[in-house]
Chain A
């Protein structure tokens, strides 16, 4: 089942933020891989480190954040320590990115055509007219109606959902093999979210593009992802095939997450919730980060940090397994 060589391999990645009151470890020793054409969902609460992981992979961590350890490899080649200019050539061409808010992702002063053509010509030898034709194809592919009329429109002339389609077109412009989609639908209307997710899924399947889909929407994951990684306080709590994680969540945190999702057709009076809140980066407890909130906590959880180990169909970092 597993491909001989994963497209993206992240090993023991650590991301830290130096602050005046000491260094904060925002992502603490996480490892995972993404196979070619695979959709990996990454879920977690705000601040769990999922967006930072995505930013680290494309080499766009906002300073002072920095990669403090570990390796990121694309096709076996290390990309976490590349000089800026070499990494720039990978961005867009090998790894595309889609951000949360389509309203602010496009430069308001330039026509869509210009932003597309510029991106296409950055990565491929094309004449302006060839690039323009390609831009038109892309707009068609992402489902912009009457694309040839809209090519020379400005971003403010599009609605939010249409803008996110343009953003997807831009991310796909150079046919990257991996797309980091950081909460691509969070800022959109619920009715539009499903369309965008379906579009992203279909386009990536057509082109064999792998996706790292960062979200906190379990429903999106269930529908889209092949595998899912659950992050908690900068660590991976559980990672495995979607069906295994959703149907038989092992980690108490994943279990709690699943319990907090309302199921249609099964009315319940009150949704279960996980008591407490995710610890701040300055206050991550010793041992398992989840231990203060865990219903099944025991002695070992307070002193020793669990590593990811196979349990059932997935890998879980919990001393219960």
Chain B
């Protein structure tokens, strides 16, 4: 357990360094992405007023002071005021957070729930016609751009058939500060198409990964030996083979969960999903740097946390990685 704690501490330390670098990048954006003052004020604002606003927002201080002040603020949880809406950025993002997380989660669950069984099936029976269908579909999933799939879905299920809503989250229910769309019928109906669109790429990725890993593992000696011991096909395929494919699958799924959150931007735009991605896109249009940089930091934080969890999961799945070697001969 001591080794475990040391491992976690080391990873947390690495995570802090990553976050410092990201915060520096986020800060640098303030300097290089357009002039926020020009975006905030109208055409007829006088130069004096502009200068005063610039001074008031601290944009004239030396850059290193600005960074340290920014870092200090961020550590205290003050991410600044949105240039565009004049509201606190953290409040703004927290409002949008549930929508994005729910979308990413539903997409990830969908991708896993469909991708793993499809991968196992195509790995076990590579020559069956259904496997070929899965392979063909996955090729489409991996090569068609997200927005295109989204638009096709909207056209077919939204416009032609009229079964599913084409935009928004539907009705939401508040649980504390969290607003969920997963408890109402319209919310559930609304999430289907965006989650499918967002999860499609991950699904094909997971399916192809599980398939190639299964093909690999099924050739190993311990699978042959498991068969030679007379174990049932079920025990061999799911007890012995599938578990040995999990380490790479966990890695990819974990990393992809980060991507799902980060790259929900496109899906959120196509479906006008009121999440962080949409907020971010609007922020870009207005050079709303506090929102953009905070979004950057938040996404980086997600990646760091997910990576840490993934590393810990390896230890759960693969005993060889556990550092406690006291039993080893």
Contacts and interface: CB of A to CB of B under 8 A. Distances in A.
A159 B233 CA distance: 29
A156 B328 contact: yes
Interface string A38-49: 000000000000
A-B pairs, top 9 by smallest CB distance, nearest first, are A92-B230, A97-B228, A104-B221, A91-B230, A92-B229, A105-B225, A154-B319, A107-B222, A119-B229
A157 B327 CA distance: 6
Contacts of A170: 225, 229
Contacts, number: 87
15 contacts: A88-B233, A91-B227, A91-B228, A104-B220, A105-B221, A106-B222, A107-B222, A107-B240, A109-B317, A110-B240, A118-B231, A122-B229, A122-B230, A154-B320, A167-B225
Interface string A3-37: 00000000000000000000000000000000000
Contact of B318 (A109, A158, A171, A174): A109
B320 A107 contact: no
Interface string A74-104: 0000000000100011111100110101001
B43 to A, nearest CB: 67
**DSSP class of B's interface residues: helix, strand, loop or mixed?**
helix
Interface of A: 58, 60, 84, 88-93, 96-97, 99, 101, 104-111, 118-119, 122-123, 153-154, 156-159, 162, 167, 170-171, 173-174
Interface string B301-329: 00000000000000001111000010111
Interface string B99-138: 0000000000000000000000000000000000000000
A96 B231 CA distance: 12
Contacts of B224: 60, 99
B239 interface: yes
Contact of A118 (B221, B222, B239, B329): B239
Contacts of A99: 221, 224-225, 228
B222 A122 contact: no
A124 to B, nearest CB: 11
Interface of B: 220-222, 224-233, 235, 239-240, 243-244, 317-320, 325, 327-329
A109 B319 CA distance: 6
Given A118-B239, A157-B329, A60 B228 contact: yes
Contacts of B232: 88, 122
Contacts of A157: 325, 327-329
